[in-house]
Amino acid sequence: MPVEEIKTKNLRWINVTDIHDISSPVVKYLKANFNFHPLNLKDCIIDGQRPKIDEYRDYFFMVLLYPIYNRKTREIESAEIDISVGKNFIITVHNNKLLPVVRLFNHLKKTKYKREKDEFLSNNVIVILHDILNKLICHCFPMLDHISMDTQEIEKEIFKDHEAEMVKEILMTRRNIVSFRKIMQAHKNILKKLEKSNQTIQLFDTEKARVYFNNLIEKTKEIWDTLEGSKESIEALYGTSESLISHRLNQIMKTFTSISVIIFALTLVATLFSINAAHTPFVRLPYAFWIILFIEFIVALLIFTYFKKRRWL
């Protein structure tokens, strides 16, 4: 069902999924039952917006993005959730990709323990909002751990002479870190604005609300700091891999150049002895071929020894 609801005497949590059209029955339901601004209803339909918070006389509307991991493509993608909060309601609009919200709502809806549901919904709406946002933020940490493990694995493989094979893994991890940073970049500012919105609408005691919001802000900072560390690590590994690949290519080029010089010297010796001149040495001797071959071997050995001494090979 696109619209599901759990409620108690004083509070309603309405969970809305799969809104695709402004003329859909879900939008008409929200418009008829809540005094929402038309722009907010449009925002619920459009995906991939920038995070924001709009403040009104008796409610505030938030757009937030959170990372989700696509196992097929191994990419970190963004999933949007739109949250409207009033004194006696909280409405979440999303596309069912944010598992923490889906699991929490389904658990409360299906639980046999009415007391658990009543206790949760008997809290102030800001406390419930904190619980939802906290679960979404905590859901980010396993992804951060996964990025950290990928970085450590790449580091091990690079120094096992697998730097060329690791380039793709480095670029994929770097892309995921960049995507993660883009998604989380605005969260701290949105949470600070959320605290100010609560002061204006007065949904919860200001001092108590500050404790809840500061808790979320600190976790957001922790995520951002971890991403900064991961970004520095992967950039360092990218630079290291480029240096190792460049060094290996230089070694190969030096080897090929040295071989080319040796072959050129041998060709020159053979050419000199192939000149059909009157006084060309060794040419008319019975073992001329083997003598010339021995001379070429000596020339090649001397050049090889010289290159080794100069560490060109």
Domain count, the chain: 2
Let me know if residue 39 belongs to a domain.
yes
The CATH number of residue 107's host domain is 3.30.460.20
Let me know if residue 238 belongs to a domain.
no
Let me know if residue 145 belongs to a domain.
no
Which residues are CB-neighbours of 118 under 8 A, at least 6 positions away?
Answer: 8
Domain boundary among the residues 68, 97, 123 is at 123
Determine contact, residues 21/45, Cβ cutoff 8 Å: yes
Domain boundary among the residues 108, 123, 138 is at 123
| pLDDT tens-place string over residues 126-158 | 889 999 999 999 999 999 999 999 999 998 888
Q: Does residue 160 have a pLDDT over 60?
A: yes
Q: Which secondary-structure segment (H or E) carries 53?
A: strand 52-55
- Report how far residue 212's alpha carbon sits from residue 128's, in angstroms, rounded to the nearest whole number: 10
**pTM (whole model) above 0.85:** no
Let me know if residue 174 belongs to a domain.
no
Show the domain range for 275.
Answer: 250-309
Domain boundary among the residues 61, 96, 123 is at 123
Let me know if residue 180 belongs to a domain.
no
Let me know if residue 66 belongs to a domain.
yes
Tell me, what amino acid is at 102? V
Q: Does residue 1 have a pLDDT over 60?
A: no
Let me know if residue 233 belongs to a domain.
no
Q: Please tell me the predicted confidence (pLDDT) of residue 114.
A: 67
- Report how far residue 298's alpha carbon sits from residue 295's, in angstroms, rounded to the nearest whole number: 5
- Report how far residue 26's alpha carbon sits from residue 23's, in angstroms, rounded to the nearest whole number: 8
- Report how far residue 248's alpha carbon sits from residue 252's, in angstroms, rounded to the nearest whole number: 6
Let me know if residue 294 belongs to a domain.
yes
